[in-house]
Amino acid sequence: MITTTKPAPRLRALRRTTGRSAPRARRPLRTWVIAIAAYVIAVLFLLPYLEMLVMALRPNSELGLATILPKHWTFSNFTTLWSTGLGGSIGTSLEIAAGATVIVLLVALPAAYCTARRRFRGRGFFLLLVLATQMFQPAAMLVGIQREFTNFGLPPTLSLIIVNAGFNLAFAVWILNAFFSSIPVELEEAAMVDGLGRVGALTRITLPLAAPGIVTALIFTFIAAWNEFLVALTLSLGEGTSQQPLTVAINGYIGEYSVDWGHLFAAGLVATVPVIILFAFIERRVVSGLTAGAVK
Amino acid sequence: MTEMLALRRLTPLLWLSPAIALIGVVVLWPVLVMVQSSFQQIGGEGFVAGYNGTTNYTNLFHEPDLVAVLLRTLIWVVGVVGVTMLISLGLAQLFHQRFPGRRVTRWALIIPWAASVMMTALIFKWALDPNVGVINVILNHIGVIKRLGSNQADWLGNPTSALIWMMAVAVFVSLPFTTYALLSGLQGIPGDVYEAASIDGATSWRSYLGVTLPLLRPAILVATLINVINVFNSFPIIWEMTGGGPGYETSTSTIYMIDLKQGDVGQAASLSVFNFLLVIVIVLVYLSTTRWKEQVGR
C-alpha cells in the first residue's frame, strides 16, 4: 500500500518541539515564495471556469466583440435557460446519477464486506475481475454496449443507470473494502455478544464506522454518472432535449451554423458548480479509491 | 453437518452475486457482443447482414489512415502522460509544503477533475475562437498574433497546432488526479528519512533525487498506469474541439473508432477489439518492465 501510511503524530510532535524555533509571526521568506507560487497556480486552474461565468453573463449582442470582459452584464442567459428544456435534462441527469449511486451502494456494500471479512476460494479472482472493470472503459467497448442495450430495448435513462453503475462499481468496492478491513472484527463480535445480533452489529457498529467510505463512494459515483458523456451521447441521441442528460443537452446548443454560447455556458455552470462543491467533500479520500486496486 | 459446510462455502457467492451480475451485464457481455460484431457485416443503422469472417479486420488494416492514426495515438498518449507526470511532480512538491491558505488552493486544483471534461473542452474551444476567443484576444493584446501572422489565430484549423492545444487541455484535466496521487505518496514518506539525508549533508535537490523520487516510485507507477488508460480512451476533448478533423488529421484511435461506427459498425467493432488488445498489451508490458509486483505490491 502506498496511501495508508500517514506521517506519524510522533513526527509532528517532534517538529513542534525541536524544529521551527522562530515565532509564528515571522514566517520565513521561503514560505511566502511557496505560498505565492501556489496562489498563482490556483488562479490558473480557476481561470477557465471563471471564463465560463463571464461568457454566461455576456449579452448575446456582445458575442462578436473581441474584449476580455463584456461592456454590459446580464442574467438573461440564466432566466431564459429553462425555456430551452434544460429543467427536464437536469431531472434526467439526477435520475441517472441517483439511480446509479443507489445500485452501486446496494451491490458494492455486500461484496466489499464479504471480501474484507472472509477468505474463501475465488476471492482473488473476484477482486481481479473488479480491477479489470476499472481498467476497461466505456470508450473501449462502446460498440458492444450500444448493441447490447439497443437489443434490450430499455428506455435510455434505465440503460444509462445500469452502465454508470457498472463502471463505477470498482471504486466503491475498493474504498469500502479498505474501510471494512480497518474495522476490527472484535468490535463486531463484542456487539453480537452484547445481544445486538448479527444484523444489529452490522447496522449499529460496522456501517456507521464505515460511513466516511460510504459517503465517498456515494458522491464519487454520483459525480461520475452526472458528468458521463460518451455513453449518454450514444444511447440518448434520438431523444428529445428533456429526455437527454445534461451533458448531451448542452451539446444541443451547438448548431450546424452557429453556437448559442451564452446558454451553453450558463447551462455549463449549472452542471458544474454543484459537482465541484460535492467533490470538495471527498477530495482527501478519492485517490485511495482510484489507486487501491492497482496496489493490492 | 456437511450440508451446513456446503452452505457456508456458498455464502460468499451470495454476497458477491449482485456485483458479479452487474459486471457481467455491463462489462463482460458487451465485450462478447463486440468480438462477435467484429466478425459480422453491420451497417451504420445496426442492421446485421450476417457473418463475413475476417473481412472487417482485413479492411481495417487496409485503411489508408490507420497508420497515421496509430502513430498520432502514440504521440497523444506518451506526450500527455509524460508532461502530466512531470508537471504533477512539481505541483505535488509545492502543495506538500506548509503555507497559509493551502486548503483553499488545493480546492482550486480539483476543479478540472470535478467538472465534466466535455465542459472544459468546450471552454477551450471557445477561448481559441480565431476572432473573439479570449486566448486570442489576450495574445493579440500582447502582440503575439501580430508577430506570428494573423492566420495563426485559427489554432484549431491547423492539425499540428490543434493537436498541441488539445494535448494541453488533456494535460490540464489530468493534473489534479495525478498531483493528488503523488501527494498521497509524499505523505507516506516518513520525515526522519529527510532528517537522515540532511545530516549526511545532502542538498535539497540531491535529497529529492536520491530520497524522494525512489520512495515515490510506487505512486508514480500507479498514477502513470491509470493515466495511460484514461488518456488512450479519452474522447470528449478531441471530439468537441476538432471532431478529429480535418479528415482524420487530429484523430486518435478512439476517435477514429467512433467515427467508423457511424458508417460501418462491424469495422468499428474490429478496431475496438484491436484497441482493446493494444491496451492489454501496453499494460502487461508496463507491469513487467516496471517490475510492478516488487515495487507496488507488498
Decide if pLDDT at A288 tops 80.
no
Residue B297 is predicted with a pLDDT of 60
Q: Does B72 touch chain A (CB under 8 A)?
A: no
Q: Note whether A261 contacts B123, CB cutoff 8 Å.
A: no
B116 exposed, middle or buried (CB, 10 Å; 0-12, 13-18, 19+)? buried
Alpha-helical (H) ranges within chain B are: 2-23, 29-37, 55-61, 66-96, 102-114, 117-127, 134-141, 144-148, 159-187, 191-199, 204-207, 213-232, 236-241, 253-263, 265-289, 292-295
Q: Angle at which helices B117-127 and A29-56 pack, to 10 degrees? A: 80
Residue B292 is predicted with a pLDDT of 75
Q: Which residues of B touch A159 (CB under 8 A)?
A: none
Q: Which residues of A touch B257 (CB under 8 A)?
A: 142-143
Inter-chain contacts counted by CB atoms under 8 A, chains A and B? 287
DSSP string, A53-110: HHHHTS-GGGTT---SS-SS---HHHHTGGGGTHHHHHHHHHHHHHHHHHHHHHHHHH
pLDDT digits (tens, 9 = 90+) for A243-278: 899 999 999 888 878 888 888 999 999 999 999 998
Q: Note whether A114 contacts B190, CB cutoff 8 Å.
A: no
**Considering only CA atoms, which of A275, A118, A128 is closest in space to residue A181?**
A118
Strand partners, A259: A254
CB-CB contact of A90 with A245 (8 Å): no
Higher pLDDT, A22 or A100: A100
Q: How many CB atoms lie within 10 A of CB A189?
A: 11
CB-CB contact of A270 with A86 (8 Å): yes
- Distance in Å, alpha carbon of B236 to nearest chain A alpha carbon: 7
Q: Which residues of B touch A108 (CB under 8 A)?
A: 19
Interface of B with A in 101-160 (CB under 8 A): 101-102, 104-120, 122-124, 126-127, 131-132, 134, 136-138, 140
- Mutation test of the interface with chain B: which of A291, A295, A296, choosing the one with the most B Cβ atoms within 10 A? A291
- Distance in Å, alpha carbon of A194 to nearest chain B alpha carbon: 24
CB-CB contact of A215 with A281 (8 Å): yes
Residue A67 lies in a domain: no
Q: Which residues of A touch B134 (CB under 8 A)?
A: 51, 54, 68
Decide if pLDDT at A24 tops 60.
no
Residue A283 lies in a domain: yes
Q: Does B18 touch chain A (CB under 8 A)?
A: yes
Q: Note whether A140 contacts B233, CB cutoff 8 Å.
A: yes
Q: Note whether A110 contacts B16, CB cutoff 8 Å.
A: yes
Residue B170 is predicted with a pLDDT of 96
Residue A21 lies in a domain: no
DSSP string, A248-295: HHHHTTB-SS-B-HHHHHHHHHHHHHHHHHHHHHHHHHHHHHHHHHHH
Q: Which three cell numbers stand for residue A187?
A: 468490535
Three-state SS at B49 = strand
A237 exposed, middle or buried (CB, 10 Å; 0-12, 13-18, 19+)? exposed
Mean pLDDT to the nearest integer, A116-127: 86
**CA A243, CA A234: separation in Å to the nearest integer?**
13
Decide if pLDDT at A109 tops 80.
yes
Q: Which residues of A touch B106 (CB under 8 A)?
A: 283
What length does chain B have? 298
Decide if pLDDT at A98 tops 90.
yes
Q: Note whether B265 contacts A147, CB cutoff 8 Å.
A: yes
Q: Given B30, B131, B230, which is nearest A148 (Cβ)?
A: B30
**In this predicted complex, what is the ipTM?**
0.87
B53: left (phi over 0), alpha (psi -120 to 50) or beta: left
Q: Given B138, B269, B283, which is nearest A68 (Cβ)?
A: B138
Q: Does B199 touch chain A (CB under 8 A)?
A: no
Q: Note whether B16 contacts A114, CB cutoff 8 Å.
A: yes
Q: Residue B228: closest CA among chain A residues belongs to which residue?
A: A135
CB-CB contact of B212 with B183 (8 Å): no
**CA A162, CA A120: separation in Å to the nearest integer?**
28
Decide if pLDDT at A122 tops 50.
yes
Decide if pLDDT at A3 tops 70.
no
Q: Note whether A294 contacts B283, CB cutoff 8 Å.
A: no
Strand partners, B42: B48
Residue found under cell 432566466: A79
CB-CB contact of B154 with B135 (8 Å): no
CB-CB contact of B171 with B90 (8 Å): no
Q: Which residues of A touch B297 (CB under 8 A)?
A: 295-296
Calculate ∠ Cα B207-B213-B216, nearest 5°. Answer: 130
Q: How many CB atoms lie within 10 A of CB A72?
A: 9
CATH homologous superfamily of B66-295: MetI-like (1.10.3720.10)
- Distance in Å, alpha carbon of A34 to nearest chain B alpha carbon: 7
CATH of the domain at A92: 1.10.3720.10
**CA B215, CA B210: separation in Å to the nearest integer?**
9
- Distance in Å, alpha carbon of B123 to nearest chain A alpha carbon: 7
Q: Note whether B20 contacts A123, CB cutoff 8 Å.
A: no
How many domains does chain A fold into?
A: 1
Q: Any idea of the CA torsion for B94, B96, B98, B101, to the nearest 10 degrees?
A: 70
Q: Which residues of A touch B40 (CB under 8 A)?
A: none
Decide if pLDDT at A15 tops 70.
no
DSSP state of B294: H
Three-state SS at B140 = helix
Q: Is the peptide bond before B130 cis (omega within 30 degrees of 0)?
A: no
Phi–psi pair at A67, nearest 5 degrees: -125, 150
Q: How many CB atoms lie within 10 A of CB B280?
A: 13
Residue B210 is predicted with a pLDDT of 82
- Distance in Å, alpha carbon of B160 to nearest chain A alpha carbon: 23
**CA A37, CA A40: separation in Å to the nearest integer?**
5
DSSP string, B245-265: -STTTT--HHHHHHHHHHHBH
**CA A156, CA B105: separation in Å to the nearest integer?**
39
Per-residue pLDDT 10s for chain B (298 aa) are 566 666 666 778 888 889 999 999 999 999 999 998 888 888 767 777 778 888 888 888 888 888 999 999 999 999 999 999 999 999 999 998 888 888 889 889 999 998 999 999 999 999 998 888 888 888 888 877 666 665 667 888 888 889 999 999 999 999 999 999 999 888 888 877 777 777 777 777 888 888 888 888 888 988 998 899 999 999 999 999 998 878 888 998 889 888 888 888 888 889 999 998 988 888 888 888 877 777 766 4
Q: How many CB atoms lie within 10 A of CB A135?
A: 16
Residue A40 lies in a domain: no
Cα diameter, chain B = 87
Decide if pLDDT at A2 tops 60.
no
Q: Does B284 touch chain A (CB under 8 A)?
A: no
Start-to-end CA distance of chain B, whole Å, equals 38
CB-CB contact of B279 with B229 (8 Å): yes
DSSP state of B297: -
Q: How many CB atoms lie within 10 A of CB B254?
A: 27
The β-bridge relationship of strands B48-51 and B40-42 is antiparallel
pLDDT digits (tens, 9 = 90+) for A203-249: 888 888 888 889 999 999 999 999 999 999 988 887 888 889 999 99
Q: Does B285 touch chain A (CB under 8 A)?
A: no
CB-CB contact of A250 with A126 (8 Å): no
- Distance in Å, alpha carbon of B108 to nearest chain A alpha carbon: 5
Mean pLDDT to the nearest integer, A159-185: 91
Residue type, B65: D
Q: How many CB atoms lie within 10 A of CB A229?
A: 23
Q: Residue B40: which H helix or E strand, with range?
A: strand B40-42
DSSP state of A6: P
Residue A265 is predicted with a pLDDT of 92
Q: Which residues of A touch B251 (CB under 8 A)?
A: none
Q: Does B47 touch chain A (CB under 8 A)?
A: no
Residue A53 lies in a domain: no
Residue A19 is predicted with a pLDDT of 42
DSSP state of A238: T
Residue A14 is predicted with a pLDDT of 42
Range of the domain at A128: 83-295
Q: Determine what percent of chain A is predicted with pLDDT higher than 90.
A: 33
